[in-house]
A = this chain, B = another copy of it.
Amino acid sequence: MPDLALLLLDLLGIAVFAATGALVAVRKELDVFGAIVLGGITGLGGGVLRDLLIGSVPPAALVDWRYLITPVAAAVIVFVFHPAVGRMEKQIGVLDAVGLALFCVTGAVKAHDAGLGIIASALCGMLTAIGGGMMRDVLAGRVPVIFREELYATPAFTGALLAVLAAEIGLGPWTYVVSAAICLVWRLLALWRGWRAPLPPGLDRG
């Protein structure tokens, strides 16, 4: 994959994830530094986890200033331009879905480039996509969104797997866009339609 395209998609994913972290921080009435730290961990946590798992240390997020400035800028922008912090759960959900779609693909491609196999690369992609949000929710004292919202990890794993398969058989970078789009649409439909995965037998949440 062209390095520049991968970098831009990665930075965009970091920005939107950092924005979700900063929004959670604003809703929790944290100050500007809390918003930056929580935004930074949300935006960079998944990628750092992936880099640790594939042995790429020090992680790109620590040594590349573009990875550092992005979540800080996103967090500050969210912090400053949000005087009326009402009920933002819906916007957080959409941004989160965009970050999920971008990260599952870039994470999977990076792991594949590092020599991991198909399934391992897809798992790394999924972990890249859900890792930052899990850290955000655990640190904010919330049950991770992955366990509250159905069909969260599955679209991420699917998007990651599609991207790795496309790379494996040598299709062009446009397939990454398709993979991310499938993950995004699936996740948004699940979010908006309230799609539910099977519950434990004998349980009825309704």
Contacts and interface: CB of A to CB of B under 8 A. Distances in A.
A34 interface: yes
A169 interface: no
A120 interface: yes
Interface string A109-153: 001001011011001100000000010001111011011001111
Q: Kindly report how many copies of this chain are found in the complex they form together.
A: 3
The winner among A53, A123, A124, A147 for most chain B CB atoms within 10 A is A147
A147 B197 CA distance: 33
B57 A62 contact: no
A2 interface: no
Contact of A52 (B52, B143, B147): B52
B205 A29 contact: yes
Interface residues of A, number: 61
A152 B52 CA distance: 26
Contact of A83 (B54, B116, B196, B201): B201
A79 interface: yes
A58 B116 contact: yes
A32 to B, nearest CB: 5
B26 A119 contact: no
Given A63-B120, A141-B143, A198 B31 contact: yes
B58 A146 contact: no
A38 interface: yes
A200 B29 contact: yes
A33 B197 contact: yes
Given A37-B153, A68-B123, 13 more contacts: A26-B200, A29-B200, A29-B203, A31-B197, A33-B154, A34-B147, A34-B197, A37-B147, A52-B52, A58-B124, A63-B120, A68-B119, A85-B202
